[in-house]
Amino acid sequence: MTPPLQTDTVLAMPLVYTRRTATDFFILTKPRVVLMVLITTAIGFYLGVQDAPHYLVLLHTLLGTALAGGGTLALNEYMEREADGRMQRTRLRPLPDGRLQARDALIFGVALTLGGLGYLWWMVSGLSALITASITVSYLFVYTPLKQHTSLCSLVGAVPGALPPVIGWAAARNSVDLEAWILFAIMFLWQMPHSLAIGWLYREDYAKAGFRLLPVIDPDGRVTGQQIVLNCAALLAVGLLPTLVGFAGATYFFAALLLGSVFLWYGMRLATLRSLASARHLLFASLVYLPVLLAVLAFDKITFPYIDLDHLSAHVASAHEQHGGPHDHHAGHAMPPK
């Protein structure tokens, strides 16, 4: 005869279930990806600030971005739950493993995404909310379905992946300036070797899921290697632009030159060897390159203080009135009183 469960055990079961479910919903948002999004958003905000940082605005920006980003990634897992079940590296995610129901994940993802976009709109700016919404739309409705059809999906997917620093910049200035697009270009070009290295490492898994990534449809890896070297070389050049356009100093320039050269070397190494080891090394190099580059850029940024022209004009007019104006001053010396 099976012994009856103790009362404490029975009462604890719903609590354990709730904790596990909450953990699975949290996993559904891909927290490590969200963390990277928040770091790049914060860097964009800091670089966009022209005077003292408004920390409350930054906090609102990060919270709204975290909600919208986590919701978008949860919806991506909802859309790809069947493909994830066919891959070794993703088959134990909450949806393919059956720990969460698809309907619950859909409701959760939609609620998080809309909540984050609304929060950004009301608490930060309409511009930052619109940029975030463009990430959601392009990631879910363009990039995600394209993965099943064309290797060009990596180029398309790099667009939403490159926009987080632009969100931060827009939150700080309520505009998108040249410097923000340079940050976008750096992020865009960085993602290509990064994602292709991942694709090379897991191309058999991706093939099982039906994803037509470039490493999957390029058996000998020649074209993949060419694309990696091309994008690493472009990144080396574009990475120098912050100094060349005047919003970073010489320290950043030489750091970007060194980091970009090392990154390019690892890309050339993968293109030559086409091995799993060289792909792992390139992936590791990409994970070092980006945070170090952005940290040095933040450290060495050149700030042009914001000038309130109305306040300056009023101050100059007040000074002129106190001294009688420049013309009266000179007239007094040219024609002394009788």
- Does residue 17 carry a pLDDT above 90? no
135 neighbors 72 (Cβ within 8 angstroms): yes
Query: For position 54, what pLDDT does the model report?
Result: 87
What is the arithmetic mean of pLDDT over 218-239?
96
Query: Which of 43-57, 122-136, 174-188, 303-317 shows the lowest mean pLDDT across its residues?
Result: 303-317
Confidence of residue 10 (pLDDT cuts 50, 70, 90): very low
> Which residue in 317, 309, 259, 316 sits closest to 288, CA to CA?
259
Q: What is the pLDDT of residue 321?
A: 55
pLDDT in the model for residue 232? 98
Mean pLDDT rounded to a whole number for the chain: 88
**What average pLDDT does this structure show over 40-49?**
95
Q: What is the predicted pLDDT for the residue at 74?
A: 98
Q: State the average pLDDT over residues 289-305.
A: 87
pLDDT band at 3 (very low <50, low <70, confident <90, very high): low
212: burial class by Cβ within 10 Å (0-12, 13-18, 19+)? Answer: middle
Which letter, b or e, does each residue of 294-320 get, where b requires 16 or more Cβ atoms within 10 Å of its Cβ? bebbeebbeeeeeeeeeeeeeeeeeee
Dihedral pair phi/psi, residue 248, rounded to 5°: -145, 160
User: Residue 332 pLDDT more than 50?
Assistant: no
- Flag whether pLDDT at 314 surpasses 70: no
Percentage, residues of the chain above pLDDT 70: 84
Residue 262: band (very low, low, confident or very high) from pLDDT cuts 50, 70, 90: very high
Distance CA(290)–CA(192), nearest Å, equals 13
Q: What is the per-residue pLDDT for 19? A: 85
Average pLDDT over residues 180-184: 97
Mean predicted confidence (pLDDT) in 261-282? 97
pLDDT at position 325 over 50:
no
Rounded distance between C-alpha atoms, residue 114 and residue 70, angstroms: 11
pLDDT-derived band of residue 295, with 50, 70 and 90 as boundaries? very high
Contacts by residues 287-295 (CB-CB < 8 Å, ≥ 24 positions apart): 287/194, 289/190, 289/259, 289/260, 289/262, 289/263, 290/187, 290/190, 291/39, 292/255, 292/259, 293/186, 293/239, 293/255, 293/256, 293/259, 294/39, 294/40, 294/43
Interatomic CA distance for residues 65 and 62, integer angstroms: 5
pLDDT at 282 exceeding the cut of 70: yes
| 33: its two tokens | 């990806």
Mean pLDDT throughout 61-69?
A: 98
Q: Which of 10-14, 33-37, 47-51 has the lowest mean pLDDT?
A: 10-14
pLDDT category, 310, cuts 50, 70, 90? very low
pLDDT on residue 4? 53
Q: In DSSP terms, which residues pair with 301 in a beta bridge?
A: 248
Compute the average pLDDT of residues 135-157.
96
What is the number of other CB atoms lying within 10 angstroms of the CB of residue 177?
13
